[in-house]
Amino acid sequence: MSGATLQRRPLVKQILVGADDNLLVIAGLGSSNWDVTEAGDRTLNMPLWGGMGAPVGMGLGLALAQPAKRVLVITGDGDMLMSLGSLATVAAQQPDNLAIMVLDNEKFGETGNQATHTSPRNNGPTDSGAGTDLALIAKGCGIADAATVREASDVPQLLRHLRTKPGPVFRVVKVMVEKLEFVMPPQDGAHLKDRFRQALLGHP
């Protein structure tokens, strides 16, 4: 066990509190999607139902297209592990309006809570990862402002950093393994895209 004490749902709700038209959110497939949707089904959210490995790239393309807006990518450790190279791609562009939050429960939650590589090594025969440190990887890729958050007392600062600090900002947040209700946004991808563009650009 990671010994994590933070709960992802109230955390995400807190991070997105008071979100206005200046905040554009990409949510990775699975739990991150449901977390973001429970906080509020906003038109300026792009919650993914597939496309594992896409959120960081999507956030980058969006951040470069909309330099005056804040772009926040919220995704899980499994999704992040699938697209580690995208952190180097972000680092090469240095978008100052992009923040990435990885909700790291050290499990592949959608497929039965198998250990991800961020789980500790030798955590048991069916629960062993590699102790992979995503913040260290991000730093190694060239994202200087990368850190891991574990304590509730650090959440107010986390909120400020994700919402306003010049980026790219990368935060791993260690969260508990929980069984939570599915809170689903619309599933039609074209609809999600069109309503996002309508809200942002005034046309689909």
Partner 1 sequence: MNAATSAEPSVDWRDDIFDVLQAHDIRQVCHVPDAGHARLIEHCQRSNAMRTIALTTEEEGIAIAAGAWLGGQRAVLLMQSSGVGNTINLLGLAKTLRFPFLTLITMRGDWGEFNSWQYPMGQGTPKVLEAMGVLLYSVDNAAEVRATVDAATRAAFNGGQAVAVLLRQKLIGIKDFGNKKA
- Which residues contact partner 1 by CB under 8 A? 24, 26, 46, 50-66, 69, 83, 85-86, 88-89, 92-93, 189-190, 192-193, 196-197, 200-201
Q: C-beta of 153: minimal distance to partner 1 in Å?
A: 33
For 55, 88, 97, 170, the CA distances from 92, given in Å and listed in that order, are: 17, 6, 14, 14
Closer to partner 1 by Cβ: residue 165 or 197: 197
Q: C-beta of 147: minimal distance to partner 1 in Å?
A: 23
Q: Which two tokens stand for residue 16?
A: 């997105």
Closer to partner 1 by Cβ: residue 59 or 76: 59
Q: C-beta of 194: minimal distance to partner 1 in Å?
A: 8
Closer to partner 1 by Cβ: residue 64 or 177: 64
Q: C-beta of 56: minimal distance to partner 1 in Å?
A: 7
Strands (E), 112-203: 114-115, 145-149, 169-174
Q: C-beta of 62: minimal distance to partner 1 in Å?
A: 4
Closer to partner 1 by Cβ: residue 120 or 189: 189
Q: For the residues of 31-43, what is the DSSP string, one character each?
A: HHHHHHHHT---T
Is there a contact between 165 and 21 (Cβ–Cβ < 8 Å)? no
Closer to partner 1 by Cβ: residue 106 or 168: 168
**CA–CA separation, 7 and 108 (whole Å):** 16
Residue 46 forms beta bridges with which residues? 26
Is there a contact between 28 and 81 (Cβ–Cβ < 8 Å)? no
Q: Which two tokens stand for residue 77?
A: 């450790």
